[in-house]
Structure 1
């Protein structure tokens, strides 16, 4: 351990070398190297977490940079987890940093999380939040939950028993995932860059508290922060009884997310169909004989029909509704069809679709 690096926290009354040693022995997984994950990762690496995992399959985009300040303009297009791991290693070469340059899903979630002591979830979508919650609850791994919406942020710690032996999880707050489009994400609703910076740093602080045993962590407590008033309040979370965890059996079939650069090979295949689940007024449209527009508002009715094609590609504006449609088709066809969703949607791949209008 390099005492000079950590001197200012080691000399803290109530911290000392014993707490620093616990940090160096800890294994923490951060899910999402975005607005919440970046500040959390930077402070955890700087504090001396001995083994730090980063899982994120996304690439750096220009619109990320106002809040994901770990990255630079020159790194646009590069893989987030790989760039983050390199920069954090430069920040602190005394720790081990592992990049998982792919998305977490039902096939890998249990295997990956089982290698870590604590999970910090900085994801930006409900599908991942429920998946990570269910996996950590089943594996009995402490979960630090962080989220932002509009001008407000939330923070909590799940799967950790309090003095009464009670442990809660995300489903005790929200038993059932919201329907697609019911709650807008940051991509649709916008966010001030400083807000995830604040919440992400607070999440890192909760992680350090958990590892070292200092202070009072947010066990079974949801902290709510309002950026506009700089006010915060905490509410106690009570265990619920009306929810079930997702089946994380890895033998289950799954759909795949693809990028626009992979669309051409599918569109050229006569056994493929391209289904746009946006509403009728949303543009642009893809000029292809395989193209069909089946709005999500009427997708349940469409599910009663049979799709002849072997390869089914679903698209929407942001890649959220297409995931929901892919899951619905997966429930119907299982592994008898190849089902794909365009990751990031038309917004992410606008240049591609403009060229194909």
Structure 2
């Protein structure tokens, strides 16, 4: 049997809450052409001349509110996921971050150190939905690292799993205990992206945001459409849980500038109490691991906004993190990879 390995890939985090480390992380993150899709010179001026100098100190303070003694929650939770999965499978597992540490190269080198005859690696981007600024950049960057370093092993990727039945079951398992309490509404808050990103990933060139109700009309564009995939995840998990359509809605958080997907989470949190929604459940299915965007933006600032606007009860449902059914889902994908089943493998 071929010697195989797995790399769990996540977004990443600064090495510490020091401003210098946050600046380093933000520069790497925001200089990514798939995150800010402007020319190199425009990106350089915008990121290093305006955004990072002003944002880094504020981000450092935000990270301090969620930092643990073990480090960044996202990195810690990804390591915990690695450990939980490794207990169930023999295939060696490493983790690699798109930005920051540990890098994909470190992950590959560690796999080779323990398995010099490594023949095949499965990279698992921990992003359920396809987006230029998350899944796509993780895949393309990892391909570049693989090519630049001349690794002889084959590299494969798990495809976006937004509608995979096992992922949906895991998300439902995470949500189910919170539905036993009294609530008025569930808000699915997905990470925002600029609308132009949807049009750039639309291979048909004529569907996304160009056809009325584009996400509801069948199209090959949906394979890379973040907005459609967010809607599908929401539809599938609410149907699984028996949540009626009038009890939930979708919004998009973390916007940076104009032209981003709407409605905006921060605005909806201020509006909902005025609409009679006083008891709110909120979750962030774009993330599998809790991080700055869930713990600080939604759990802390989101709660404050909702309560100040007249809300009475606010509960953030954590990400799937390391719940057993999510670990079992990854185990199933590992078993299929080892067996040569390409059901969940991204096709070239």
What's the TM-score, normalizing by structure 2? Answer: 0.24
More strand by share: 1
What's the TM-score, normalizing by structure 1? Answer: 0.24
Higher alpha-carbon Rg: 1
More helix by share: 2
